[in-house]
A and B are shown apart, each in its own frame.
Chain A
């Protein structure tokens, strides 16, 4: 971290439009606000949402002013999909932490055979060129086990808290989930977040 920017945690979240990246960013920020922390969220809406690549930023700390996280400044890169994680790997700072779901969602160009999807090992190899701190697990599997593929973002939310990088307690995180969703989805979402939390806690 830079000397003059020491009290800001930069979190970049990336995935495919429709995976719930924006919702995760908002809930993460709500939980931060509940902890009395200053926070900024940067989002892009519109064209970027239509099944394309999405990246969202959450900046927590008193020095957070603008929404942008530049290359080499993210403390934590959260990837909902391997290739989308790789697409934003330039954001990670030296020794920053990458939290990645290994579940693949094929881009149309790959389905049409105009390009190939890299192997998982090749993706990990490229990420290692930026940081050695990689937490890699199948979050989609955990989401489905919790009751719905739609809970993927809550698995990732739990996982973020599990890294201990973000100054938000598990209790505040779960409260933010309860306050943000209709009651009928609460059980699945909480279960998903717990699953993500436990999965990551066991490897940090």
Chain B
């Protein structure tokens, strides 16, 4: 909700409340970054959301929503090779998509500063796994920084660009959800003027890593990372504070929890906070281990720092007890909190926690009547209509490969149309695999943005290898899950420029799919059911892939449009005399805008929540759901 205009103000010293992702977008300006490319992914999404609005107002700046993360890294990587500062942004699983260019980019290096922001998601608030991206820095020998809060998210970003230029290497800038999605007061710094276009200086013996070139680059990379380690030893980003017998090494958001815990428990300890976690300042850590009999490592997910500490203790024959995940003081699962740190400290010190959490937990778990409220498809979501039709047409008996997006929520009853999912684009490819080994019908679903990001190779596979599978493209005209970003099918670019949209139907036909049809789910549910039956039969008869595009804008876009226009539309209602309280509408659709009147047991539509899709009208066997006259 923060205004992007404010992020553009060249007012050094001004203090504004910003989400860390907004602070990073502001940091892009202050660092003089010329190119940013990304594919949206929560918890990093708001970085792009702000940059796309800011982009047309920044002279010489280029921003794009790339097709996917691999593309984004290559676009931004080339810009930094050419000699302008660039940045790529992704969520944890997005870096997996970009792993290929990532690992080679470190070999060739960059001529101007480049930062790769990766937002990991401990506790998986909006991700399919909680992989720890820090290992990419280790594997790729790429320097890495970990800010601990929104303030550092901006200040360290500026450091990261300088660091990158010092060693001609991209820097991995690793955040976690609790950094990205925290707001804090942020102080603005000066915005420099961006450079115009640069002349690309050819140097193929550096930038084209054929084996003979790569063989010279690997030793170069190792020597650069060693120089970076020397810098890391003296950098103020790796610093100690406090005094005490106990030593604690930490990084990222966990640093806050350590500080809060020590203050609350009144424990004296020396804390080594690592801002640069690759290359780790080996001498600094070694000296720290020497100073303490016991050292605790506090970091979410994998024992990254802990393993380094153990390695250094062993290398230097230091007698020190290192306590972390290996002995079970901390978990590899989920995000931390001050409580988790305090409980570990208390276990170590054999004392009671300052708050009796066991008692609170016991009392809380004693409350048995809290109905669950999991996330679900919004009221008026077109996916609900499409999934209802898919389920009806196939009587729930087909296999339903799903994909990454809001629509994965169709896993929940009563839709239950998500059976298998690996990653972006896997709906199509898992459908290919499944159709070869079963006789069941396979109906996969993929969103429009995911279709462009990772769907096309799967379609080519299905066409060329003649897989008997059906695909429904849920084309809601946006990248909905991450917050309504445009994609190549929308006709709007990251620079807010209108361009010809890429037509999904033409793409499928061009790739050789012989059954491609488009339908609008809100026009006729019965028609949609019929089309799906026809498609399934066609795929079976022709032993080839069939594609149905179900096109209807995201309910949130429609609702926002309606609010902007401010014209009240006729409402839907349940005619009480006709409703027989059979609850079919509720049981088949699970729409959040409908509930049961506790007295009459009949269905009611909540005016405040209904988004006017009308799907329920088609589901009611009595015709009891009606719309007000205009």
Contacts and interface: CB of A to CB of B under 8 A. Distances in A.
Contacts of A65: 149, 256, 259-260
B42 A109 contact: no
Interface string A43-82: 1111111111100000000010111101111000000000
Q: Is the interface of B mostly helix, strand, loop or mixed?
A: loop
Given A4-B264, A87-B370, A108-B590, A130 B185 contact: no
Nearest to A17: B375
Contact of B339 (A38, A71, A116, A118): A71
B561 interface: no
Contact of B125 (A5, A30, A46, A71): A46
A180 interface: yes
A68 B257 contact: yes
B595 A52 contact: no
A202 interface: no
B125 A83 contact: no
Contact of A47 (B125, B256, B338, B378): B125
B361 interface: yes
A109 B595 CA distance: 10
A41 B45 contact: no
B43 interface: yes
A118 B360 contact: no
B313 interface: no
Contact of A26 (B1, B15, B42, B587): B1
Given A33-B185, A65-B256, A90-B361, A47 B369 contact: no
A111 B594 contact: yes
A72 B483 CA distance: 33
Contacts of B43: 45-46
B549 interface: no
B328 interface: no
B338 A68 contact: yes
A149 B600 CA distance: 25
A51 B375 contact: yes
Contact of A42 (B1, B178, B265): B178
A44 B371 contact: no
Contacts of A43: 19, 181-183
A67 B396 CA distance: 43
B205 interface: no
In this complex, the interface size class of chain A, counting residues with CB under 8 Å from chain B, is 35 or more
B203 to A, nearest CB: 42
B268 to A, nearest CB: 12
Interface string B447-466: 00000000000000000000
Interface in B351-370: 354-357, 360-361, 363-364, 366-367, 369-370
A16 B260 CA distance: 30
A141 B92 CA distance: 43
Given A39-B185, A52-B375, A72-B357, A45 B45 contact: yes
B177 interface: yes
Contacts of B413: 112
B195 interface: no
B372 interface: yes
Contacts of A149: 608
B413 to A, nearest CB: 8
Given A4-B266, A65-B260, A67-B182, A117 B17 contact: no
A119 B458 CA distance: 51
Interface string A141-178: 00000000100000000000000000000000000000
B125 A111 contact: no
Interface string B244-264: 000000000100110110011
Query: Could you say which of A17, A47, A89, A93 has the most chain B C-beta atoms within 10 Å of its C-beta?
Result: A47
Interface in A100-125: 105-113, 115-118, 122
A139 to B, nearest CB: 13
Given A53-B373, A116-B369, A122-B369, A129 B363 contact: yes
A42 B182 contact: yes
A194 interface: no
A42 B369 CA distance: 27
B620 to A, nearest CB: 15
B378 A66 contact: no
B375 A50 contact: yes
A122 B370 CA distance: 10
B138 interface: no
A180 B1 CA distance: 8
A126 B367 contact: yes
B29 interface: no
A40 interface: yes
B24 to A, nearest CB: 15
Given A65-B256, A106-B596, 12 more contacts: A17-B375, A45-B46, A45-B125, A70-B339, A72-B356, A89-B364, A89-B367, A111-B590, A112-B590, A115-B371, A115-B372, A122-B369
27 contacts: A5-B264, A23-B1, A26-B183, A29-B17, A33-B17, A39-B183, A45-B181, A46-B42, A46-B45, A46-B126, A50-B377, A50-B378, A50-B409, A51-B373, A66-B178, A68-B337, A71-B360, A71-B361, A87-B373, A93-B355, A107-B373, A108-B376, A108-B591, A112-B586, A113-B586, A116-B371, A129-B366
**Lowest 8 A-B CB distances belong to which pairs?**
A46-B126, A52-B375, A66-B256, A41-B183, A46-B42, A50-B375, A106-B595, A70-B339
Interface of A: 2, 4-5, 16-18, 23, 25-26, 29-30, 33, 38-53, 63, 65-68, 70-73, 83-84, 86-87, 89-90, 93, 105-113, 115-118, 122, 126, 129-130, 149, 180
